[in-house]
Amino acid sequence: MFFDEAKIYVKGGDGGDGSVAFRREKYVPFGGPSGGNGGSGGDVYLEVDPNLNTLIHFKKRSHFKAEAGGRGSGKNQQGKAGLDLLIPVPPGTEIQDADSGEFVADLVEDDQRMLVARGGRGGRGNAAFASSTNQAPRLAEHGEPGEERWLRLEMKLIADVGVIGMPNAGKSTLLSVVSAARPKIAAYPFTTLQPNLGVVQLESYESFVMADVPGLIEGASEGAGLGHQFLRHVERTRLLLHLLDGASQDPLEDWETINDELSQFSPELASKPQIAVLNKMDLPDAQAWWPLVKEAMAERGLEAHAISAVTGEGVQQLMRRAYELLKSLAVPEPMPEQPAVFRPAETEEAFTVEREEDAWRVRGVRVERIAAMTPFVLPEAAARFQRQLRAMGIDVALQEAGVEPGDTVRIGDEELEWQE
């Protein structure tokens, strides 16, 4: 089974809690607050590992969480920062947000790294809240929760040349002849159940990477056969070898069928440079078709080559020509790395108030963060939270919505009781 898709959950490490502590040292006359800040949580990165070629390692594990930050302590000691988490992925992995479908990154280069979930910052200890008017605060913060999201990973093979064609056109045979790849070969449709990669070495020690794609049939772009599952692997190639079966009843009709499917799947894919290749020239039927195929391709302004993958006839000339064309085609530039993938809301101050079945729900980036970082067991922290809600206008919004004393108000994971 070929695993080229996966869905994973990633979460940055939570920040460590701040500490409430006071100094009681012999030669420190006034002492004072000495609670240290919590350590920041670790970040989550996806990193390209050139030794991987599938996403199968995500079959057994799909949840990933970075290390949380350590708790602050007395004597102004800050908590230990959480370790970052590196998740290896194969080259050619495309990342999307699973919920919004937003494109995140395309990882194609060795050791390329992408930040996908930030760790939370550490909560402040009471030493950070000391001021001239509050010299002994009994107040601290919980650590900020790390960012979390579901990601969809899709692997697309990185090859210079893609070999496409109907089932049993001889794609795997050709790849086995020109490279060290050993794909499964048999005389029945859909022998190839997964794309295969091979490195083609020319006589002058020049080389390029070639991939054969499981046979396409009519309706492949809509999911028929195996085509829809693997068409994505042709998208990165710069040149297509369109292999025609010389033993087919009508190779030219096969040509039209495959190109129609490419167009329906992706217009960009259909516009890639192609070389038409009539295979099985060791058979009389293929020899009879060759003049017709050559003439039809000339009318379309395309090159046509005749080969026999079994006997090797014309194969080296085809590989040399493919390499010459590759040199003339521009190499697509890799997408620049993005420093972060989370875009802030239009304004973090924005919030909404909604009525749920048995409670009121307040949603908003900043207010949910404040609630998560407030230790309500500390009276000063709870009072500070109330002041922050008032400053943001949330208490007024709840009153206008119709909140009554005794009603439950949910903010993030916190449940609070409304009182006048």
Which residue would you say has higher pLDDT here, 373 or 217?
Answer: 373
Q: Are 66 and 44 in contact (CB under 8 A)?
A: yes
Interior angle at CA 370, CA 368 and CA 375, nearest 5: 115
pLDDT for the residue 192 = 45
Give the whole-angstrom CA distance, residue 252 versus residue 305. 14
**C-alpha distances in Å from residue 55, one per residue of 3, 48, 240, 253:** 5, 12, 25, 36
Domains annotated on the chain, with CATH:
5-155 (2.70.210.12), 161-328 (3.40.50.300), 352-417 (3.30.300.350)
Average pLDDT, the chain: 83
Q: Identity (one letter) of the amino acid at 298?
A: A
- pLDDT tens figures, 309-336: 889 899 999 999 998 898 888 665 554 4
- pLDDT tens figures, 199-244: 788 877 788 888 887 755 444 444 444 444 556 667 778 889 999 9
- Asked whether residue 104 carries a pLDDT value surpassing 70, the answer given is yes
Residues 364-393: what's their mean pLDDT? 91
pLDDT for the residue 221 = 43
pTM greater than 0.75 (yes/no): no
- Terminal Cα-to-Cα distance of the chain (whole angstroms): 62
State how beta strands 360-363 and 352-355 pair: antiparallel
Nearby residues of 46 by Cβ (< 8 Å), 6 or more positions away: 87, 89, 93, 95, 105, 107, 113, 114, 116
- Asked whether residue 190 carries a pLDDT value surpassing 70, the answer given is no
Give the whole-angstrom CA distance, residue 185 versus residue 181. 12
**C-alpha distances in Å from residue 206, one per residue of 108, 209, 291, 323:** 22, 11, 32, 8
Give the whole-angstrom CA distance, residue 113 versus residue 84. 12
Band the pLDDT of 289: cuts 50, 70, 90. very high
Residue 10, token pair as written in the block: 């990633």
Q: Are 17 and 143 in contact (CB under 8 A)?
A: yes
- pLDDT tens figures, 239-269: 899 999 988 899 999 899 888 878 887 777 7
Give the whole-angstrom CA distance, residue 153 versus residue 150. 10
Task: Name the 3-class secondary structure at 369.
Answer: helix
Which residue would you say has higher pLDDT here, 5 or 129?
Answer: 129
pLDDT for the residue 339 = 43
Residue 217 has a CB neighbour count (10 Å cut-off) of: 17
Residues 61-90: what's their mean pLDDT? 93
Band the pLDDT of 37: cuts 50, 70, 90. very high
The owner of tokens 């079959």 is 59
Which residue would you say has higher pLDDT here, 170 or 85?
Answer: 85
73: DSSP letter: B
